[in-house]
A and B are shown apart, each in its own frame.
Chain A
């Protein structure tokens, strides 16, 4: 399902990142950076993630001199059980709240909901935000954080940070041109250390449907950017698109997971993952480059593995999801 928007714009974005992201090549594009440890002055990993999310939202309001009462809706999601980071962040904001979950593609769901509310004239200003924390994800989905188990080359590294995106109906330089809501796709992958393979078919499906609905060719976009497929998932997607849809993704295709870190120097295996990965790259790096005029049309496709340890232990396969957001540079 593709929705076209006529008056939804990005007013501003605010990104906060942790030390691993700060050591990566995109560090300069983030608004606030933590250089050393991962607690950020809090007592537990979970509280540290709430801290990041709160900081992103407080600062985006402060930076744009907007009061909480002026925001109609706050949409947030994260990886913690019961999306706790979002819930505990939202209790400190006097803004109506919608909690969402689509694993690592959560930010796209937030943007789609927010944009649709604005386009339908039900809201004027909406904040969509997301966060993830490496240690929280390790503790919840894998092993204790200090437990050293050898990982496969295809495993990814959950990024730490938070991103807040302020959507508005007032014209600005970057417009949300259209979005495509993806389907849950499961191609029978059971390997929890190969999320790129889990998510690639969902990304392929939504890219194909977006191009079909809008009658476009991949070359229409200056950049097509998937969420967190990693180096191997990226190749799988190229192969899958060509084999199934006969669509060749050219040099304008890339993956946020391969951009966030220095893959040769940092110990991140196949690349970055986590809800904030596509949010940091898409709304930190890409958005700021769009403001400078480097990219005019960008298709951002955050991808998510809807992975539940319980279902995996019960021998179920892992479903994937992806949504597409078309960003366009409109001259003021």
Chain B
């Protein structure tokens, strides 16, 4: 039996992932998180009398703190299995990836454990985030002049 024939056997016995349903859930829950962020942004601006930019940073910090605490309590990963991409695409997912790695490698020590592994998952986001910002910044500079 060749590999293509086997692939047919595998395909006809493998269930389809519910991409559409998962997408809708992620859209609704992720959208709600975004809306909450906007609400929080306005609140910080109003309560603390901050300009929009500083208030935005505070919102990011709030979400990072909440995601990290939920990760440490073992709640975040359970939530992700329910709402899928809604939680790990926003900044909450980034914080979660670092906290979970730090928790996992604490037994290997502060330097070789946590230090070496904390960016295990987040490192790729940082690297390609920086690279793409550079590329798109350059495109913007060349087309509309900054």
Q: How many angstroms between the C-alpha atoms of A152 and B18 in the bound complex? A: 10
CB distance from A232 to the nearest CB of B (A): 6
Contact of A148 among B9, B17, B78 (CB under 8 A): B78
Task: Say yes or no for A40: interface residue by CB 8 A criterion.
Answer: no
Task: Say yes or no for B41: interface residue by CB 8 A criterion.
Answer: no
Judge whether B14 and A197 touch: CB under 8 Å.
yes
Residues in A neighbouring B120, C-beta threshold 8 A: 144
**B68-81 interface bits toward A, Cβ cutoff 8 Å, 1 = contact, 0 = none:** 00011010111111
Residues in B neighbouring A232, C-beta threshold 8 A: 13-15
Task: Say yes or no for A315: interface residue by CB 8 A criterion.
Answer: no
Binds B, one of A17-25, A88-96, A238-246: A238-246
- Nearest B residue to A267 via CB reads B81
**A136-173 interface bits toward B, Cβ cutoff 8 Å, 1 = contact, 0 = none:** 00010001111111111110000000000000000000
- Known A-B contacts A143-B121, A146-B100, A201-B6; the reply to A154 vs B14 at CB < 8 A is yes
Residues in A neighbouring B80, C-beta threshold 8 A: 148-150
Task: Say yes or no for A187: interface residue by CB 8 A criterion.
Answer: yes
The bracket for how many chain A residues form the interface is 20 to 34
Task: Say yes or no for B101: interface residue by CB 8 A criterion.
Answer: yes
Judge whether A148 and B15 touch: CB under 8 Å.
no
The interface size of chain B toward A, counting residues with CB under 8 Å, comes to 37
Task: Say yes or no for A120: interface residue by CB 8 A criterion.
Answer: no
Task: Say yes or no for B1: interface residue by CB 8 A criterion.
Answer: yes
Task: Say yes or no for B21: interface residue by CB 8 A criterion.
Answer: no
CB distance from B133 to the nearest CB of A (A): 25
Judge whether A235 and B121 touch: CB under 8 Å.
no
Judge whether B13 and A145 touch: CB under 8 Å.
no
CB distance from B120 to the nearest CB of A (A): 7
Residues in A neighbouring B12, C-beta threshold 8 A: 239
- Known A-B contacts A139-B104, A187-B3; the reply to A148 vs B10 at CB < 8 A is no
Judge whether A144 and B104 touch: CB under 8 Å.
yes
- Nearest B residue to A269 via CB reads B81
Judge whether B81 and A148 touch: CB under 8 Å.
yes
Residues of A98-154 contacting chain B, CB below 8 A: 139, 143-154
**A263-277 interface bits toward B, Cβ cutoff 8 Å, 1 = contact, 0 = none:** 000010000000000
